[in-house]
């Protein structure tokens, strides 16, 4: 209620610009979600340009029309939530907004990167020459687990090290065969968990779709 009153006081003078500095940080998760929806609806109704500072990535993605990601005081990227999440301009943005697994690799040819001891097809190599050192990254929800066989493009044998139950999905920590020090984060839906009988300690194959790999 105090946050609502503070917001009402700030809007009482009909400002042309509203600055919110971490307005939801001290609230519990349910109230935070409810209040961020109220702020978004209120902002749209009043049409007040609003700048909101937050370290909560989910909050930024849910509320913003445009996001500015800053790294040590320098702007790394400006864009819509979809652009910032799906097409991060730098490795920092990719890692800061959402979860990302990174693999160090080398461009091995046109549209190919060698990482973790295998050649991966990658549509985002651009003009990087063969031999160039790169980092490739992918989101946990982009890891494919259904219908993956040995000859599936970009398939990897992995071991399920840990499973974290998060309700609608499980977040898995996977080790790659032959590169056990490399940890891959993957999200498996509740349906996939049940249909495939996935469990901790199991050896499975996953695939990394070429379109999902970002190159930095």
Name the pLDDT band for 128 (thresholds 50, 70, 90). confident
Name the pLDDT band for 84 (thresholds 50, 70, 90). very high
Tell me the mean pLDDT in the region 98-125.
90
- Over residues 155-177, the pLDDT tens digits come to 999 999 999 999 999 999 999 98
- Over residues 193-206, the pLDDT tens digits come to 999 999 999 999 99
Residues 140, 122: Cα–Cα separation, whole Å? 17
pTM of the model: 0.85
Name the pLDDT band for 23 (thresholds 50, 70, 90). confident
Task: Give the pLDDT score at 177.
Answer: 86
Q: Which two tokens stand for residue 5?
A: 């009153």
CB hemisphere CA count around 186 (13 angstroms)? 31
Tell me the mean pLDDT in the region 57-75.
94
Task: Give the pLDDT score at 88.
Answer: 96
Residues 54, 22: Cα–Cα separation, whole Å? 5
Name the pLDDT band for 117 (thresholds 50, 70, 90). confident
Residue 86 has pLDDT above 90, yes or no: yes
Task: Give the pLDDT score at 215.
Answer: 92
Task: Give the pLDDT score at 25.
Answer: 82
Residue 152 has pLDDT above 90, yes or no: yes
Task: Give the pLDDT score at 171.
Answer: 97
Task: Give the pLDDT score at 180.
Answer: 77
Residue 6 has pLDDT above 80, yes or no: yes
Residue 4 has pLDDT above 90, yes or no: no
DSSP assignments along the chain, one per residue = -HHHHHHHHHHTT--SEEEEESTTTTS-HHHHHHHHHHHHHHHHHHT-EEEEE-S-HHHHHHH-SSEEEEETTEEEEEE-HHHHHHS-SSHHHHHHSS--EEEEEEEEETTEEEETTEEEE-TT-TTPPTT-EEEEEE-GGG-B-TT--TTSTTEEEEEEEEEEE-SSEEEEEEEETTEEEEEEEEEEEHHHHHHHT--TT-EEEEE--GGG-EE-
Residues 122, 106: Cα–Cα separation, whole Å? 12
């Amino acid at each position: 209620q105090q946050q609502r009153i503070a917001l009402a006081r700030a809007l009482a003078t009909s400002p042309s610009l509203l600055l919110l500095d971490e307005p939801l940080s001290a609230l519990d998760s349910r109230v935070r979600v409810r209040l961020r929806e109220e702020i978004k609806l209120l902002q749209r109704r009043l049409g007040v340009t609003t700048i909101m500072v937050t370290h909560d990535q989910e909050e930024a993605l849910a509320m913003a029309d445009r996001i500015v990601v800053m790294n040590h005081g320098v702007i790394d990227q400006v864009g819509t939530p979809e652009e910032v999440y799906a097409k991060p301009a730098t490795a920092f943005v990719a890692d800061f907004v959402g979860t990302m697994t990174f693999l160090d690799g080398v461009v091995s040819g046109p549209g190919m990167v060698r990482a973790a001891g295998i050649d991966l097809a990658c549509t985002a190599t651009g003009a990087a020459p063969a031999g160039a050192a790169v980092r490739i990254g992918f989101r946990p929800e982009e890891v494919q687990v259904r219908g993956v066989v040995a000859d599936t493009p970009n398939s990897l044998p992995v071991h399920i090290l840990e499973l974290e139950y998060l309700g609608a999905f499980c977040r898995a920590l996977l080790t790659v065969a032959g590169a056990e020090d490399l940890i891959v984060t993957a999200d498996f839906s509740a349906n996939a968990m049940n249909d495939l009988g996935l469990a901790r300690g199991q050896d499975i194959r996953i695939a990394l779709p070429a379109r999902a790999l970002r190159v930095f």
